[in-house]
């Protein structure tokens, strides 16, 4: 058995049965093994940032890692930005990078790059196999590492001779790594803080934003009067009817400071102390009050649900019914606004939908207006590297087994990974993409205003997406996805309803 | 004066007057400075690999660096693959990466990445400014480094506070770094080898492939009977009437070994000993005879023309007229073949055109059939990271001041950086793109055959670009570029002629 065969069989043993790929010459033996061994679903992306973004979206929804298949250092380089986002979203990915044969690397052939250094920038685990006998063992270790709480990118670099050489050994499934132990002192301290009468925020991130943790956090909040909030930096939030109506820390630093200013104490649940995305002249980096007392209840590598349960027990917090979010919103009418778009989506989305938002400057109101929607999973851009919305939506749809995915997608960001549409068409995925067409990098025009200047011709040349206008319907059709334009929210509603009746993808260009 | 103003003025002082950009929040003060100071042409790319590829194409044609403007680690990551190609093409680029403010970095805000490690993988020079007063000095040093022979990527990382803070100091132009001194022993040895009667190859790379070096190399070859050949790994070759009819070392390892097998001696002129792109089981890494004697006449960081002149003098090689390539080819007819396409392009291209080829599996015959075309510059993918053809063509057109650019572009590779078309439309660049539509990664199907297996459904899922077919005309129109399909070379010829009459870009989908 060659190394490639041992790789595929080992991955399947670990429960990794989906491979997002853009292979090259050095991966041909891996491709052949995938062809010859049943059980792995292979999904092609036309550029590697699509591939890695799909693996991220898949992991968030499947709750287990897929593997990637990338080609040498440059293939990894192309996929790094969405691996960065996956790292920030704490997604589990077995990131497989084929590379030059061990003995060929010293010759510095053209595609040779410092693959390992690239991998280290986004991975919690990096290993390069050195011979066929190690590939199975290393693949099992990479999968175990990827699944370690809270989930991480584990990169396995496979020189081509480790794949084609005989001597491969299939590895059995490795046990899940245990969570780091909870610190009883942290739980006692948090409980004491929650009883001392001071204004307290419980900031939820990571697994703290999924349903089991939300229910426990809600009991704590009801028992103590603490406020619950979602970290801005998060990949996935359970939302809608039956979930806690969490607000999210705002993106804009000034708004975030205003939202956090009143808290004397912050209890962190798989969240870091909130800081602004960027520094601004004369403004602080941190978004909370400098004298606030911070206490970590649980880190991402600990069992967040167990920590919250322990806090519930410590406080003796009684069961608490989830709040009633009120009536489901109705479709909005007329010209699009961020709030009207959110209401319309909330009015129409099917039960258990996946809402993948990379709405950037148009995300205002999204949380408020979708509280009363049916239960759904909201996926966010956690790492700030634009261009994850479309591939994450695509990978989420692969994992979703028919769940409807709605991708609210800013136009500028969409152009980063527009190739995702082709994979949606090929795989006939139930993705409804809403392109928010404002023909500019609106968020940057806002930031430019902060500089205190009015953009002239040269600045607009770098901030404006018109001249020529992007033709979204043509772009979608060029990749096999049907598309139509909505000038109003009424038209959007009609097109969304129709798209939900389809098996495959559909793109709506919404003029905003 | 803030750091950003000192940056722009310093760059202009060094003769850097073109900026390929995709800025973000941390670069807004730089954008404002570009807006407020006259003299810099700013060209937006919709994804960073387009931006860096344009800077590469610009440098090759302009003979001087442009600067880039990228956004934090993720923006650099997106542009790395074409920086890798630029490194292999020895292109001079002042690669400017805005980043988190110095004091904000420790907070690990979402977009924070190990920017420096990323930069080191592709750059010959990396510097991060630490305060506004250093920005001008560092920008001058980066420009000087970028221009050092043979040209390299020089990355300047600018934390946002170094741009917005007062205290910027404009730096004067720095002198060009002198070439590394020639080694008289190398020239004597090469001359002795050329006189010893053994079969000798002079392998030209880098500056050895431009016209001044070609003429001297031709004199040497005529005087000694040595064979001249172009390295496969090269960014730019002066070709057509009045230039030396160089063959290029083949891409396919077996063909390369066959072409190089007869040489007992190889004299390297800004070229490395040829090795195969990839290793294959049981095949050698090197493409030349193991016992061949290798001698470097000049490295890329030495003055290649001076070295060849010294060799001419040492040999007493008399002036030699450039060979007559014979009659200009005529347009080919009927279904497309690689040779027919090459003949048609040779028949129609205007004088002094730029031929940018990322034809991959369809490049066969291109060199033979274009010897007798008018003088032109041929640009190649030097680093093997697919997706440089369209952005390099775009950047070359920006530098070309009206020169016609013809981009022979494989379909699979085109999808990597398809966003380039939008910049071509916005800037009204004279680029004729010929998409070579075979609906597959044909080169990989060839490599798969080498594995010794017939691709089944799973393998084809990763190697085939049909299902759905890409609609190139829609894709082009979606980005503001007019387009049409050619089923035959006759139709191609008609569309090419018409495109040459236009001011702006045009895309031809050639069915192959």
| Both tokens assigned to A145 | 């590492």
> Would you state the structure tokens that stand for residue B342, as one six-digit string?
């090459």
Domain covering B3-164 in this structure, CATH number: 3.40.50.970
B486 forms beta bridges with: B510
Output the pLDDT for position A491. 98
Pairing of β A125-128 and β A153-159: parallel
* pLDDT at residue B54 in the model: 98
Identify the pLDDT of residue B148: 97
Residue-level pLDDT at A364: 85
Look up residue B440 and give its DSSP letter: B
> Are A78 and B78 within 8 A, CB to CB?
yes
A226-244, pLDDT tens digit by residue?
Answer: 999 999 999 999 999 999 9
If contacts are CB pairs under 8 Å, which of residues 17-46 in chain B contact chain A?
A: 21-26, 28-29, 31-32, 34-36, 40, 42-44, 46
**Phi, psi (deg, nearest 5) at residue B382:** -85, -30
| Closest-CA residue of chain A to B88 | A110
pLDDT at A284 over 90: yes
Helix or strand or coil: residue A461?
Answer: helix
Q: What are phi and psi of B289, to 5 degrees?
A: -60, 130
Q: Which two tokens stand for residue A243?
A: 């979930």
Please report which confidence band the pLDDT of residue B364 belongs to, taking 50, 70 and 90 as the band edges.
confident
Q: Is B53 on the interface with A (CB under 8 A)?
A: no
Question: Mean per-residue pLDDT for A55-61?
Answer: 98
pLDDT in tens, A347-361: 999 999 999 999 998
Strands (E), B45-141: 66-71, 93-99, 125-128
Say which range, A295-299, A480-484, B461-465, has the weakest mean pLDDT. B461-465
Q: Do the Cβ atoms of B114 and A101 come within 8 Å?
A: no
Q: Nearest CB to B478: which of A109, A463, A474? A: A474
pLDDT at B450 over 90: no
CA pair distance B380, B393, nearest whole angstrom: 10
* Dihedral sign from CA coordinates of A466, A471, A475, A476: positive
Q: Give residue-wise pLDDT tens across range B7-44.
A: 999 999 999 999 999 999 999 999 999 999 999 999 99
Domain with residues A338-511, CATH architecture: 3-Layer(aba) Sandwich (3.40)
Average pLDDT estimate for B417-440:
97
Task: Name the 3-class secondary structure at B318.
Answer: coil
Q: Which of B81, B164, B286 sits opposite A281 (nearest CB)?
A: B164
Average pLDDT over residues B165-187: 97
In whole angstroms, what is the distance from residue A44 CA to residue A20 CA?
6
Query: Which residues of chain B does A451 touch, with a Cβ-Cβ cutoff of 8 Å?
Result: 28-29, 31-32, 164
> Hey, what are B144's tokens?
């000087």
Close Cβ partners of A383 (under 8 Å, ≥ 6 residues apart): A81, A84, A85, A86, A87, A88, A89, B74, B110, B111
Helix and strand numbers (H, E) in chain A are: 20, 18
pLDDT at A451: 82
Predicted local confidence at residue A201, as pLDDT: 98
The yes-or-no verdict on residue A452 having pLDDT over 90 is: no
Q: Would you state the pLDDT for residue A453?
A: 79
Q: What is the pLDDT of residues A390-426, one digit of tens each?
A: 999 999 999 999 999 999 999 999 999 999 999 999 9
CA distances from B204 to B153, B218, B241, B298 (A): 22, 11, 19, 10
pLDDT band at B184 (very low <50, low <70, confident <90, very high): very high
pLDDT at A458 over 90: yes
pLDDT of residue B183: 95
Partners of A362 in beta bridges:
none
pLDDT the model gives residue B254: 95
CA angle B282, B288, B289 (to 5 degrees): 85
The number of beta carbons lying within 10 Å of the beta carbon of residue B167 is 14
Does B32 contact A459 at a Cβ distance shorter than 8 Å?
A: yes
| pLDDT tens for each residue of A81-122 | 999 999 999 999 999 999 999 999 999 999 999 999 999 999
pLDDT tens digit sequence for A163-218: 999 999 999 999 999 999 999 999 999 999 999 999 999 999 999 999 999 999 99
Percent of chain B with pLDDT over 90: 96
Rg of chain A taking only CA atoms, in angstroms: 23
Q: Does A479 sit within 8 Å of B110, measured CB to CB?
A: no
Average pLDDT, chain A: 97
pLDDT of residue B452: 79
The verdict on A161 touching B (C-beta cutoff 8 Å) is yes
Compute the distance between CA of residue A86 and CA of residue A380 in angstroms, rounded to an integer. Answer: 11
CATH number of B184-315: 3.40.50.1220
pLDDT in tens, B384-413: 999 999 999 999 999 999 999 999 999 999
CB B68 within 8 A of CB B52: yes
CA distances from B401 to A335, A409, B394, B398, B496 (A): 44, 37, 12, 6, 20
Choose the closest CB to A462 out of B44, B272, B477.
B44
Domain spans of chain A, in order of start? 3-164, 184-315, 338-511
Facing A109 at nearest CB: one of B25, B101, B277: B277
B276 pLDDT above the threshold of 90: yes
Distance between CA atoms of residues B299 and B276, nearest Å: 20
With contact defined as beta carbons under 8 Å apart, do A403 and A393 qualify?
no
pLDDT at B365 over 90: no
């Amino acid at each position: 058995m060659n190394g490639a065969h041992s790789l595929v069989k080992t991955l399947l043993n670990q429960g990794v049965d989906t491979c997002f790929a853009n292979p090259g010459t050095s991966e041909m033996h891996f491709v052949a093994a995938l062809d010859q061994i049943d059980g792995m679903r292979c999904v092609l992306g036309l550029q590697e940032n699509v591939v890695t973004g799909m693996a991220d979206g898949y992991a968030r929804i499947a709750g287990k890692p897929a593997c990637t298949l990338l080609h040498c250092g440059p293939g990894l380089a192309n996929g790094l930005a969405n691996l960065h986002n996956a790292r920030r979203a704490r997604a589990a990915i077995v990131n497989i990078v084929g590379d030059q044969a061990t003995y060929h690397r010293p010759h510095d052939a053209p595609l040779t790059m410092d693959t390992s250094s690239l991998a280290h920038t986004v991975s919690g685990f990096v290993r390069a196999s050195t011979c066929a006998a190690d590939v199975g063992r290393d693949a099992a270790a990479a999968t175990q590492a990827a699944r370690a709480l809270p989930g991480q990118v584990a990169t396995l670099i496979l020189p081509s001779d480790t794949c084609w050489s005989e001597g491969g050994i299939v590895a059995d499934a490795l046990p899940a790594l245990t969570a780091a132990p909870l610190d009883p002192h942290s739980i006692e301290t948090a409980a004491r803080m929650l009883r001392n009468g001071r204004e307290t925020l419980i900031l939820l991130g990571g697994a703290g934003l999924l349903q089991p943790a939300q229910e426990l956090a809600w009991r704590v909040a009801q028992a103590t009067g603490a406020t619950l909030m979602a970290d801005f930096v998060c990949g996935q939030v359970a939302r809608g009817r039956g979930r806690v109506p969490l607000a999210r820390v705002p993106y804009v630093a000034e708004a975030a400071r205003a939202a956090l200013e009143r808290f004397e104490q912050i209890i962190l649940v798989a969240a870091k102390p909130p800081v602004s995305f960027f520094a601004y002249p004369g403004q602080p980096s941190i978004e909370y009050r400098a004298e606030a007392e911070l206490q970590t209840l649980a880190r991402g590598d600990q069992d967040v649900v167990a920590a919250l349960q322990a806090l519930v027990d410590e406080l003796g917090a009684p069961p608490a019914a989830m709040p009633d979010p009120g009536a489901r919103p109705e479709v909005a009418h007329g010209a699009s606004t961020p709030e009207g778009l959110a209401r319309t989506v909330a009015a129409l989305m099917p039960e258990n939908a996946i809402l993948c938002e990379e709405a950037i400057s148009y995300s205002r109101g999204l949380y408020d207006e979708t509280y009363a929607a049916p239960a759904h999973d909201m996926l966010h851009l956690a790492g700030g590297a634009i261009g994850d919305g479309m591939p994450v939506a695509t990978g989420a749809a692969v994992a979703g087994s028919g769940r409807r995915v709605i991708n609210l997608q800013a136009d500028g960001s969409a152009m980063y990974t527009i190739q995702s549409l082709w994979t949606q068409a090929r795989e006939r995925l139930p993705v409804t993409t809403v392109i928010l067409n404002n023909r500019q990098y609106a968020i940057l025009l806002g930031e430019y205003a902060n500089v205190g200047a009015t953009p002239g011709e040269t600045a607009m040349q770098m901030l404006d997406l018109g001249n020529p206008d992007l033709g979204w319907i043509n772009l979608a059709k060029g990749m096999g996805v049907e598309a139509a334009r909505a000038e109003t929210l009424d038209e959007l509603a009609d097109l969304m309803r129709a798209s939900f009746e389809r098996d495959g993808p559909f793109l709506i260009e919404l003029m905003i």
